[in-house]
Structure 1
Amino acid sequence: MRTSLLLLVCVGFVHGLGRVSLSRLPSVRSRLRAAEQLNEFLREHQPDVFSRRYAQCYPATQHYLRMGGRSTERLYNFMDAQFFGQISLGKPEQNFTVVFDTGSTDLWVPSSYCVSQACAMHHKFKAFESSTYAHDGRVFGIHYGSGHLLGVMAREELKVGSVTVQNQVFGEAVYEPGFAFVLAQFDGVLGLGFPQLAEELGSPVFDTMIAQGLLDEPVFSFYLKNNGSSFGGEVVFGGVDETRFVSPINWIAVTQKGYWQIRLDVVKVQGALRFCYRGPQGCQAVLDTGTSLIGGPARDILLLQQFIGATPTAVGEFLVDCVRISSLPVVSFQINNVEYSLTGEQYIRRVRTTQQPFQHFNPSNLRRH
């Protein structure tokens, strides 16, 4: 069985095929841990990540998603982003590494005018060197756990694989918050969510590709591979690579446009514990390539952690003794009547701590399958 994910989405009908190789390197979380800065970061940034990021997926009347008098700007998870590839902007081309993120919609990269330490560590877009650059005049802001990312809007020629997009709206970040961005391996983010999710005003990259007739089919597909090497897979625009998966493709309809939101039938743990089964509608889930986490309601996740026997830490992570991995229960996700099962070896993230030889575990870290 291949320990990989093929994520395929389809939208309407249009010529071309673009393929971008993805790299997989240690996440920002892993690098913070290696630098012994993770606990401090998590203590300082403890917002309700799941509720804030996916709040619009739920009815406003649900009290546990209310933010009181605070702003309800979306919170994007970038700390666990691991799969990223290369794009280019402008003429002559300026190259950037970006996370291809189905959990957001906007495209942004650092600006040459950025004043943050994080920008100094990454490639910066130099508008004055491009003959195809067009200033937009608007400003934008995206809220992360460590603060606001701020920037200005522009339009530019964009190249993704072999596909060249004209006059693409994007953001030039002039301020990136927090030292976590300093450790990020990627320069920016290319969002692949629906237009309804956009912080910026303008057509998202995938929608622009379709509108300009650049694709064979209105489809993009992800092949994400966890093999311990830097090769993380690829993203294909305009079709699928049938050598990357075992047929047939199991289709599931989007329930609400914004995120790639679907119905999750049920979650099972060794057949003895079940979640999302309380009604005929199951529960709602979001397919998000911008994070390696799987999250859920706090009470259910805590129950799952207790069932597995994970030990909580002061900063919200959970540990499992290394020797228990082979005996951990199977966790299964049923989507459109098809069951996808994960063993302990597949949903445990192996991390050596400075205290004891435990493995890091967070049931919101269950790997996609």
Structure 2
Amino acid sequence: MSFSPLLLASLLSPLSFTGAVWQNKDTHALEGTGRGLEGLNGQYSALKARKNLNKIRQRRYNSLQARHRDLLQQDLSMLRIEKVDRKNYKIQLTDHRSEYTGPIEIGTPGQGLDCIFDTGSSMAWVFSTKCRSSMCDMHTQFDATKSSTYSGSTTEMHITFGTGSLRGVLAKDTVSLGGMSLHDQGFGEILQPIGSVFQLDFDGICGMSYRMSKNVNASLLEGIERSSSLSEKSFTFYFGEKEAALVLGKAGRSLVNNQKMTWYPVTRQFYWESTLKDVKVGGKSILSTYSEGEISAVFDTGTSVLTMPTEDAGNTMALLQSSGVTCDMIEAGKAPKICYEFEGLDSICIRNWYERSIEGCTASLMTLDLTQENVFILGQPFFNEFITTFDVGNNRIGVAPVRS
């Protein structure tokens, strides 16, 4: 497992506008509301009053019931076929401000855990009852002794993150995501977490990137790809104002608002990344001489901010400050956008690249320098504006605006 920006971005403060006068504006929390179906009782009453129709319905019901009984006796297993033919599985995500989590189950019977779904790492890691650190007591822990399908090992791994590290052991068990079961799926049990990042509100990390270690056969993405439950080998993240969700399999048209997606090819099967041509703020390039050569955009749900190499981030802040941007301008949609340009494809322009606070507005931007790599990470500010499909079967990333 390689370095994931997830943990680094969860804690480090984003860059601030030095010397800029930003006026804070009161905002209200976005609240989702549900609406029940109305009027069905009245319609049903009207139908019920029609005796002839009721007789027809009863005959049809008896006929269908007999037919279904016959099919079951013939062992056609209609219910199992219906489950296998299911096209997608939906996982509701919960916003914890610094990260989103969703429910998974591990073991038989399933043990529920809330995990971060991270496209910037490749393995699933969960807190284990084998852990003796008091930090593990802050989380729900997986208990291997309660699972009849658990298979342990003595293979240990030491992982270093930007803000901490962990020691764990590899294992296999049934992992269920939104009702889809992956049997004999490899994952890691956390035995010793080090760092304040593990005090955040999650029970594990579900890495959904390409395999990052040839020696470790525990890629969650490969498990999803092998599953026969999905008609399409893809998954989609959606972060709307009223709902956030992960859909495994083909996402419905209503989710993408009937807009055609732009597809960006995966240029290296490590991160979910695609080659960039340029990055601009207000139409001006921010690339420094440091960024000469190939640069790439990494689509990472585990990072809470946008990241750039240090010099490029400095150029970005300078251009934003020189434009005289204020909170009012940003919220009115009049501030410069950060645009990522791709060769021969539509640019991705982010307008909500800031965070509101009591003091004003702060850029959701962080510096990140990787050795011999010019990487621009598209984190949560990007996902808040775009629905994103990760197409495993065709090694591409689909992007379309979130429904307004």
Q: TM-score scaled by structure 2?
A: 0.64
Q: Which of the numbers 332, 341, 347 marks the counterpart of 1:339?
A: 347
Query: Would you say how many aligned residue pairs link Structure 1 and Structure 2?
Result: 281
Q: Which amino acid aligns with 1:208?
A: G
For 1:337 and 1:276, the matched residues in 2 are separated by 23
- 1:287 paired residue number: 299
Choose 331-340 or 268-277, whichever is displaced more. Answer: 268-277
**Correspondence for 1:316:** none
Match of 1:102 in 2: 119
Q: Give the CA deviation at 1:149.
A: 0.6
- In structure 1, what is the equivalent of residue 170 of structure 2? 153
- Are 2:272 and 1:265 aligned? no
Q: Retained in 2: the 8 A contact 1:156–1:166?
A: yes
CA distance in 2, matches of 1:366, 1:309: 22
Q: CA deviation at 1:348?
A: 1.0
State which of 344, 352, 357 in structure 2 corresponds to 1:351. Answer: 357
Q: Does the aligned pair in 2 maintain the 1:20–1:161 contact within 8 Å?
A: yes
1:18 counterpart = 2:29: no
Contact 2:89 2:247 in 1 (8 A): yes
The 1-side partners of 2:232 and 2:261 are apart by: 16
In structure 2, what is the equivalent of residue 79 of structure 1?
none
In the other structure, the counterpart of 1:67 is: none
Q: Deviations over 1:19-64 (max 9, x none)?
A: 111111221xxxxxxxxxxxxxxxxxxxxxxxxxxxxxxxxxxxxx
Counterpart contact for 1:110–1:174, Cα < 8 Å: yes
- Aligned partners of 1:279 and 1:299: how far apart in 2? 9
**Where does residue 86 of structure 1 map in the other structure?**
103
Deviation of 1:210 (Å):
2.5
**Partner of residue 185 from structure 1, selected from 201, 206, 210:** 201
Residue 321 (structure 1) shift? 6.0
Equivalent residues of 1:152, 1:174 under 8 A apart: yes
Q: 1:330 aligned to 323, 329, 337, which one?
A: 337
Query: For residues 279 and 105 of structure 1, do their structure 2 counterparts lie closer, same or farther at Cα, with a shift above 3 Å needed?
Result: closer
Q: Does 1:239 align with 2:275?
A: no
Aligned mates of 1:165, 1:109 — CA distance in 2? 16
Matches within 5 A, 1:212-227: 212-225=227-240, 227=241
Shift of 1:109: 0.3
2:220 aligned with 1:205: yes
**Could you say if the C-alpha distance between residues 213 and 366 of structure 1 is closer, same or farther in structure 2, counting changes exceeding 3 Å?**
closer
Q: 1:277 to 1:214 in 2, by over 3 A?
A: farther
CA distance change for structure 1 residues 215 and 193 in 2, over 3 Å: closer, same or farther?
A: same
Counterpart code for 1:339: S
Higher mean displacement: 172-181 or 332-341: 332-341
| 1:278 positional shift | 11
Instruction: Please say if residues 263 and 281 of structure 1, whose CA atoms lie closer than 8 Å, have aligned partners that are also in contact.
Output: no
Determine helix, strand or coil for the equivalent of 2:283: coil
CA contact (8 A) 1:265 1:337 kept: no
Q: 1:200 to 1:21 in 2, by over 3 A?
A: farther
Give the deviation of 1:351 after TM superposition: 2.3
Query: CA offset at residue 115 of structure 1?
Result: 2.1
Shift of 1:253: 0.8
1:65 equivalent in structure 2? none
> How much does 1:169 deviate?
0.7
Structure 2: segments with no counterpart, 5+ residues: 1-83, 367-378, 386-404
Name the SS of the counterpart of 2:307 in structure 1. Answer: coil
Structure 2 CA distance for aligned equivalents of residues 322 and 221 of structure 1: 31
Looking at structure 2, the residues matched to 191 and 139 of structure 1 have their Cα atoms a distance apart, in angstroms, of 18
1:157-197: CA deviation from partner (whole Å, max 9, x where unpaired): 11101201111111110111123311x111111111112x1
- The code of the aligned residue for 2:122 comes to T
Q: Percent identity?
A: 27
CA deviation after TM superposition for structure 1 residue 200, in Å: 7.0
Give 1:358 deviation, angstroms.
3.1
- State the shift of 1:282 in Å: 6.3
Deviations 1:197-218 (A, max 9, x none): 1487114223123324232111
- SS, match of residue 125 in structure 1: coil
Contact residue 87 and residue 158 of structure 1 kept, 8 A = yes
| Separation of aligned partners in 1, 2:214 and 2:105 | 22
1:304 deviation in Å? 0.9
| Structure 1 stretches lacking a partner, 5+ long | 1-13, 28-81, 311-319
Larger radius of gyration: 2
Give the 3-state SS of the residue equivalent to 1:26 in structure 2. coil
The answer as to whether partners of 1:116 and 1:177 remain within 8 angstroms in 2 is no
Amino acid at match of 1:294: L
Report the Cα offset of residue 143 of structure 1. Answer: 0.7
Match of 2:265 in 1: 253
Query: Are 1:194 and 2:210 counterparts?
Result: yes
